[in-house]
A and B are shown apart, each in its own frame.
Chain A
């Protein structure tokens, strides 16, 4: 597939942009933040987004989805990144749906996918246990019982954890923390006895939670995929999350860069526009190059998923590392080039910077992905 959007995808991107700019500008995000909204996102808006087909955008039509693929979801995420739109697009439309599509039994698919697509169910993946992304460092344990399993352990940084209807929990059914084998994914009702969810307020004002499981009873039919082989689902889910989140990050990068270039053309000091200074021009041009490369790899990554290419793991690490670095660069430069006003809460640059750092910490920081890429490439 050529590295260009087709006509349908261009239309979707245009529609997403006008809808999001209209219904969810940065001011809407600020309102959620400043009112300490208990949900942290706009439920009514999510219903509308579901009505447009976005909640089920990657879900096959037979399960009530739009069947538009990851390129389609990627263009929506990119537009969402431009306005810092807080929504369950990542947790539910991408991660929840992917996990069920890849690992769900026929009956799980029939039950869950239509509920995601309609916007009725929210999902959250509970996998991290420490401050750094580490997919197999899982100590939470599920022990076999008569009726199924008994789950115990702690999870942290669970995106949308406090609003999710269903949690997808990665727990150990055998082996030691750090081993790829011995993991199992479970579908757990957030309101089940023994599940304690504590919302964590993050710098980017997005939703995350700590979740504690104490003797939570899980039925056997709540296993997603197969026992002890959860990593076979978890790995591809994480790769898709990495690429999808990168698409959102790209939206933030582009928005910040465009605003900053505009500022260089309007702000005067020493009697001239500051955009005439070569020190700033060169840094802007360097950012432009990094962004162009980022645009290319995000699209290549989304296409790689849709084409089920066998280099998805490599490209996922490449894309996430690159977008971590590019968002880091652009958010720092944007703030610096705005000068004093960039430090104020009134200007959005700080919001983008906070989002950049939390997004970078999600699903793997740069060194994690450099290490992983080198290993996958055989060195």
Chain B
């Protein structure tokens, strides 16, 4: 038996033994495990599952073991993911620390910072938020004005951030600040980490069109940040910011269509169309809607195949392509189209706001449809992604 087969056998046995039964069911959004200082475990098994996985380093399977990771190579990680998929196991830990900050720290942080922060992330001890956009700096992110002044042993931070995902629930923030107001805008930015419990930090949730408040505005009023909490080189934070944005774009682009070509179950436009607008001889009754759904599903599948191709190309040794902007652009536009198709297919059943006249999944689709509109804005708008493709891939002139 090869090493990989042995690993598979052991992994399968361990998962069978340690993955609680309730963690093998589809996850309602309010049971997502975010960890942190003030964790909410609606289902106590969530904590058990996170702790067990974290103890093996499997909340972050490919990170090095000294930073709390599992130290798995690509092949072993693939086996682990397949075995998790076989059980339909829930992700043990949702975390901007894992998806965005961690990869950037691995690349740019000092050894001491890595040991400290990455281990905390792996164990789910700290819930992170991202301090990037500002009221006056959206698509023009490098125009940010939140400033950090050198006060000798610390930086003094003043300003405001907006669209901070779960900012009002987070423990720490990774934050872009201006440290040299005289330098050209990309060259005076630094990357700071600090505690959201620091004096002078306050947050205000923002109510969205979906009715939810997943974003906050964050205010910094003379916040003292110890100097060792600067990551990378002073005034060179834009380099880190860009690298991190790529991870963010991959994350957002993936949410749409990669894992669920065309959506599954109640979120599949073809299933919804049959159920809500009828079928004739096994075909969706509305012929125009049927062809639109077919086009959408074919595009989703083509998108998934493209994701696979890029991954295979990298495995075969090709350098990572400029793919993240393409996936961000196409994946989010696809996800928006999916919800518009669901609305078309379901009619007024997907337009309820609350109350017992609608089923839970119907109300969910109304809210998700509205939420999906943000996909092509957050993490760099679709227009910004097209700018990046035309500049970095097509090399069109400025």
Interface residues of chain A, those whose CB is within 8 Å of chain B, are: 2-4, 261, 264-265, 273, 275-276, 278, 280-282, 284-286, 288-289, 292-297, 299-300, 317-318, 321-322, 367, 370-371, 373-375, 377-379
Alpha-carbon separation in the docked complex, A132 to B235 (Å): 64
**8 more A-B contacts (CB under 8 A) besides A4-B318, A273-B397, A282-B383?**
A3-B308, A265-B395, A278-B387, A281-B394, A293-B306, A296-B309, A318-B301, A379-B273
Known: A4-B316, A281-B396. A373 touches B284 (CB 8 A): no
Alpha-carbon separation in the docked complex, A212 to B270 (Å): 43
Alpha-carbon separation in the docked complex, A91 to B298 (Å): 27
- Contact present for A4 and B312 (CB under 8 Å): yes
Within the complex, which residue of B270, B316, B386 is in contact with A285, where a contact is CB–CB below 8 Å? Answer: B386
Q: Which residue of B lies closest to A373 (CB)?
A: B294
Q: Which chain A residues lie closer than 8 Å to B55 at the CB level?
A: none
Residues 378 to 398 of chain B near chain A (Cβ within 8 Å): 383, 385-387, 389-390, 393-398
For the complex formed, measure the closest distance between the CB of A129 and the CB atoms of chain B, giving whole angstroms.
Answer: 24
Interface residues of chain B: helix, strand, loop or mixed (majority): helix
Q: Which residue of A lies closest to B321 (CB)?
A: A292
Q: Which chain B residues lie closer than 8 Å to A379 at the CB level?
A: 270, 273-274, 279, 282-284, 290, 293-294
- Contact present for A370 and B387 (CB under 8 Å): no
Q: Which residue of B lies closest to A367 (CB)?
A: B291
For the complex formed, measure the closest distance between the CB of B15 and the CB atoms of chain A, giving whole angstroms.
Answer: 27
Q: Which chain A residues lie closer than 8 Å to B396 at the CB level?
A: 261, 264-265, 275-276, 280-281, 284
Q: Which residue of A lies closest to B313 (CB)?
A: A4
- Contact present for B386 and A282 (CB under 8 Å): yes
Q: Which residue of B lies closest to A283 (CB)?
A: B386
- Contact present for A299 and B309 (CB under 8 Å): yes
For the complex formed, measure the closest distance between the CB of B265 and the CB atoms of chain A, giving whole angstroms.
Answer: 14
Number of A-B contacts (CB under 8 A): 121
- Contact present for A293 and B393 (CB under 8 Å): no
Residues 356 to 398 of chain B near chain A (Cβ within 8 Å): 383, 385-387, 389-390, 393-398
- Contact present for B387 and A289 (CB under 8 Å): no
For the complex formed, measure the closest distance between the CB of A304 and the CB atoms of chain B, giving whole angstroms.
Answer: 10
Q: Which chain B residues lie closer than 8 Å to A286 at the CB level?
A: 386
Alpha-carbon separation in the docked complex, A2 to B274 (Å): 35
Tell whether B40 is near chain A: CB-to-CB under 8 Å: no
- Contact present for A321 and B298 (CB under 8 Å): yes
Interface residues of chain A: helix, strand, loop or mixed (majority): helix
Tell whether B297 is near chain A: CB-to-CB under 8 Å: yes
- Contact present for B390 and A282 (CB under 8 Å): yes
Known: A296-B302, A374-B291. A275 touches B282 (CB 8 A): no
Alpha-carbon separation in the docked complex, A317 to B298 (Å): 9
Tell whether B305 is near chain A: CB-to-CB under 8 Å: yes
Q: Which residue of A lies closest to B301 (CB)?
A: A318
Q: Which residue of B lies closest to A3 (CB)?
A: B309
Tell whether B330 is near chain A: CB-to-CB under 8 Å: yes
Within the complex, which residue of A4, A280, A288, A297 is in contact with B302, where a contact is CB–CB below 8 Å? Answer: A297
Q: Which chain A residues lie closer than 8 Å to B308 at the CB level?
A: 3, 296
Alpha-carbon separation in the docked complex, A264 to B298 (Å): 31
Within the complex, which residue of B273, B295, B329 is in contact with A289, where a contact is CB–CB below 8 Å? Answer: B329
Tell whether B259 is near chain A: CB-to-CB under 8 Å: no
Tell whether B219 is near chain A: CB-to-CB under 8 Å: no
Tell whether B25 is near chain A: CB-to-CB under 8 Å: no
Alpha-carbon separation in the docked complex, A70 to B234 (Å): 55
> Which 8 pairs between the two chains have the least Cβ-Cβ distance?
A281-B390, A285-B389, A3-B309, A285-B386, A296-B306, A374-B294, A2-B312, A379-B270
Q: Which chain A residues lie closer than 8 Å to B387 at the CB level?
A: 278, 281-282, 285
Digit string of B263-298 for contact with A (CB within 8 Å is 1, else 0)? 000000010011000010011100000110111011
Q: Which residue of A lies closest to B391 (CB)?
A: A281
- Contact present for B273 and A261 (CB under 8 Å): no
Digit string of B302-336 for contact with A (CB within 8 Å is 1, else 0)? 11011011001101101000000010011000000
- Contact present for B294 and A370 (CB under 8 Å): yes
Tell whether B299 is near chain A: CB-to-CB under 8 Å: yes
Q: Which chain B residues lie closer than 8 Å to A296 at the CB level?
A: 302, 305-306, 308-309
Within the complex, which residue of A264, A265, A300, A374 is in contact with B305, where a contact is CB–CB below 8 Å? Answer: A300
Q: Which chain A residues lie closer than 8 Å to B284 at the CB level?
A: 374, 379
